[in-house]
């Protein structure tokens, strides 16, 4: 498993790399984000068209 702790996660390239690596290696990734900035992460996911199915 991999845990990532960030106050703000808006870098789409890093996020895509994390998703790709997790899928290739079949590992779980846990993101711990600042609740006050969670909307920025959600906006990034919407722009990338990342859905729940990509994260399960």
Q: Is 46 exposed, middle or buried (0-12, 13-18, 19+ CB in 10 A)?
A: exposed
Pick from 25, 19, 15, 17: which is nearest to 56 by CA? 19
pLDDT (tens digit per residue) in 1-56: 999 999 999 999 999 999 999 999 999 999 999 999 999 999 999 999 988 766 66
For the chain, what are the domain ranges? 2-55
- Please check whether residue 21 is in contact with residue 51, taking contact to mean a CB–CB distance below 8 angstroms: no
Q: What are phi and psi of 32, to 5 degrees?
A: -115, 110
Q: Which pTM was predicted?
A: 0.82
């Amino acid at each position: 498993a991999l845990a990532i702790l960030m106050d703000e996660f808006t870098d789409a390239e890093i996020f895509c790399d994390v998703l790709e690596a997790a899928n290739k290696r079949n590992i779980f990734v846990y993101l711990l984000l600042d609740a006050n900035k969670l909307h920025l992460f959600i906006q990034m996911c919407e722009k990338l068209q990342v859905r729940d199915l990509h994260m399960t």
